[in-house]
Structure 1
């Protein structure tokens, strides 16, 4: 298990209501069947008729309800599997989803990939590379190009066209769609 592997702590509510902490961590990496693991936790409960459960803790960025339901947990698990398969950093993906105000789910992986515009040590340096690669400065005579205000251009890009995520001293740039 890597440090980025999303996991949840599932607690038995019958035990919790009886003043007993009974539960277990479940990795959401696709190696375990969620419904089966939750059933095992409830069956091992010291309380009879343990049927209800809740997520009392989780380890991944983003938000999660105490009562998320297995559909939500399966969606997170599926997203993690897709992120791993695509070679995307899970932490960055979670930050991307949080920035966009969306739940973590598999459908966001494609949106992430489409929105990703590149990485640089700052947004201003990304803008310089972007303008050079797209040829947008070619209409400006060479001797006047050093007067171009890249900082102002970067600020304007961030206002309407892109957003950034800072990660490990790098600036990851994403298109606003």
Structure 2
């Protein structure tokens, strides 16, 4: 995991307890488990005082909403945590955005490996630096990396409209979310 302070955690109670007016449960740190099966076994063991406990995830921290609901944790959650644990914070944030707002994973049916590959192809980086306009900042980098204005006399280069170019670039071909730029494939 990247940071133990940001470790995924779930407060697990049961519907039976909740319907009886109790919020009795326990916070489970998912970094303590190798997978979903082990986690659920521990949850059922904790609530063994009930005959057939129906688990209720009453609260959670550092788990993207697309992986959890009140009554289930997605089967790919632990693989997702492992994959993002190997990323730096910026890439992990971008991957969460990509899954949530661009490719709608895991409901898109892709395997996590395919999702990661697609993300790596699409992600262009974080552009929330000194310019405060990620689209314009990316346009400057794009022009520099592609050499779009190389060979243009400096006297003419200063008349290039970077703002208009950035606007056109993001009308078709690129998207920006919270400063993260993605190519639209």
Alignment partners' CA distance in 1, 2:32 and 2:119: 21
Question: Runs of at least 4 residues of structure 1 off by over 4 A?
Answer: none
* 30-39 or 79-88, larger mean C-alpha shift: 30-39
Alignment partners' CA distance in 2, 1:96 and 1:131: 24
- 1:95 maps onto 2:103 in alignment: no
In structure 2, list runs of 5 or more residues that go unmatched: none
TM-score normalized by the length of structure 1 = 0.77
In structure 1, list runs of 5 or more residues that go unmatched: none
* 105-114 or 144-153, larger mean C-alpha shift: 105-114
Conserved 8 A contact 2:12-2:58: yes
Conserved 8 A contact 1:15-1:46: no
Aligned to 1:62: 65
Aligned to 1:176: 184
TM-score normalized by the length of structure 2 = 0.75
Aligned to 2:112: 106
Alignment partners' CA distance in 2, 1:48 and 1:129: 60
Secondary structure class of the residue paired with 1:147: coil
Alignment partners' CA distance in 2, 1:32 and 1:25: 17
* Cα distance change on mapping 1:110 and 1:83 into 2, 3 Å: farther
